[in-house]
Amino acid sequence: MLSTQTLPQATTDIARAKRDIDEFGYCLIANALTPAEVEAARIRLIEQAAAELEYGLAFEDGGPEQQWGAFTDGRGRLRRQVYTAVAGGVNQRVWMLVNKGRIFRAILFTASVRAIVDHVLGDDYLLSSYSANIAKPGGVAMNLHTDQWWMPHPIERGPSPVPIGSITRQRPNLEGGEPGAMIAPCVCVNVMWMLNDFSAENGGTCFVPGSHLRGRPPHMERDADVETLAAEGPAGTAMVFDGRLWHGTGANISSENRYGLLTTFCGPQFRPQENFTVGARPEVLAEASPALLALLGFKIWSGYGRVESPVAEYIAQGERSLGEMQSAQSA
């Protein structure tokens, strides 16, 4: 039985929160968002989600046959799955929030939360995805997972048990299933922003405290009985967690929706889930600060992400390389 007394409590003490995430793989920031921010974000989210539903564009998962992440089979082959309520989805995801309201962009720069992300990821990192998960009554628990399932595990000298390009959600490069002494570092951090009160009943994120140090992702059968906690807290609380923490959406057995925003950040050498350099809308980029452009991947990192010169500072959306050229003298 997990003793909640020794586990992290919501705090505004950032030093405490940094110790919590190091030790337990998560921390809870109290009042990360003001009541006005919570209200503005929730109203915008509800409006956006309703419109995406109305236009037949909603992504609905969280049903027994509608698990997020089950996009490929064990060999990485795409499963043709439809994520709609008609096909059994219950919850609603809203993607690419960076394009869907100024309030969402402002939230990215919440100082208390970013201090934790800086602490874990260091000087440079990218936004990997920015979405909402509206967990609705009847939604089932999501399979426990980590957010860096693609991260190769340390191996013995010799060929990798699974080549790098063959790693899938179901197939890590771990021989025998249990890690050795060395484990992979944390390379992404997720933030769950609570836009209404989260509870165990309304689908508060389930997680396994301390699992970030187990050195492997959860195994569906072998870890079926693992004890989980639910992230609970009043609207405005942010749960910041290590990309290695075992977690997933809780089952919503209440009669109300649970509104949560998820921002995932990753090291600059990894591929973000959402492709902002293609998908960010021009009107958003036109008013974006250098800091937002950097988060979205428009800033070149040690020569990576460039179109031509590695010493250019930023790239522009739609920028093309020079292409085939000929000397004017040979024309």
Ligand X SMILES: O=C(O)CCC(=O)C(=O)O
- 212 scored as a contact of ligand X (CB under 6 A): no
> CB 48 → ligand X: shortest distance, Å?
17
Q: Contact at 8 Å (CB) between 259 and 132? A: yes
Which x/- pattern, by CB under 6 A, does the window 128-157 give for ligand X?
Answer: -----x-x------x---------------
From 92, 112, 146, 205, residue interacting with ligand X (rule: CB under 6 A):
205
Token code pair at residue 51: 């419109």
110 vs 249, which CB is nearer to ligand X? Answer: 249
60 SS3 class: strand
Size, binding site for ligand X by CB under 6 A = 11
How far apart are CB 79 and ligand X at their closest, in Å?
18
Tokens 């064990």, residue? Answer: 74
| Beta bridge partners of residue 295, listed in sequence order | none
Smallest distance from ligand X to CB 83, Å: 13
Question: How many beta carbons lie within 10 A of that of residue 159, not counting itself?
Answer: 8
Q: How far apart are CA 28 and CA 312, in angstroms?
A: 38
Which of 27, 29, 45, 68 contacts ligand X by CB under 6 A?
A: 68
What are 219's strand-pairing partners?
A: none
**Interatomic CA distance for residues 152 and 313, integer angstroms:** 30
Please count the other Cβ atoms lying within 10 Å of the Cβ belonging to residue 172. 22
Q: How far is CA 252 from the centre of its chain?
A: 20
The window from 2-10, 39-47, 107-115, 243-251 that contacts ligand X (CB under 6 A) reads: 243-251
Q: Measured from the CB atom, is 99 or 190 closer to ligand X?
A: 190
79 DSSP assignment: P
Q: Which of 63, 248, 267, 268 binds ligand X (CB under 6 A)?
A: 248
- Find out whether 211 and 245 touch, Cβ atoms under 8 Å: yes
157-159-163 Cα angle (round to 5):
135
Least gap, CB of 270 to ligand X (angstroms): 16
Closer Cβ to ligand X, 236 or 248, answer by number: 248
Q: Which listed residue (260, 267, 268, 272) binds ligand X by CB under 6 A?
A: 260
Residues 119 and 193: beta-carbon distance below 8 Å: no
Rounded CA separation 208/65 (Å):
24
C-beta of 126 vs 192, nearer to ligand X: 192
Distance CA(287)–CA(280), nearest Å, equals: 12
Q: Which is nearer to ligand X, 233 or 248 (CB)?
A: 248
Q: Among residues 26 and 68, whose Cβ is nearest to ligand X?
A: 68
Q: Least Å distance between CB 181 and ligand X? A: 28
In this complex, which beta carbon is closest to ligand X, that of residue 17 or of residue 191? 191
Q: Which stretch binds ligand X (CB under 6 A): 23-31, 38-46, 241-249, 268-276?
A: 241-249
Tell me whether residue 125 or residue 259 sits nearer to ligand X (CB atom). Answer: 259
Report the alpha-carbon angle 68-73-78, nearest 5: 80
Q: Indicate which single residue of 44, 212, 247, 299 sits in contact with ligand X (rule: CB under 6 A).
A: 247
Handedness of CA 217, 221, 222, 225 (dihedral sign): positive
* Contact residues: ligand X, CB under 6 A: 68, 133, 135, 142, 192, 205, 247-249, 260, 262
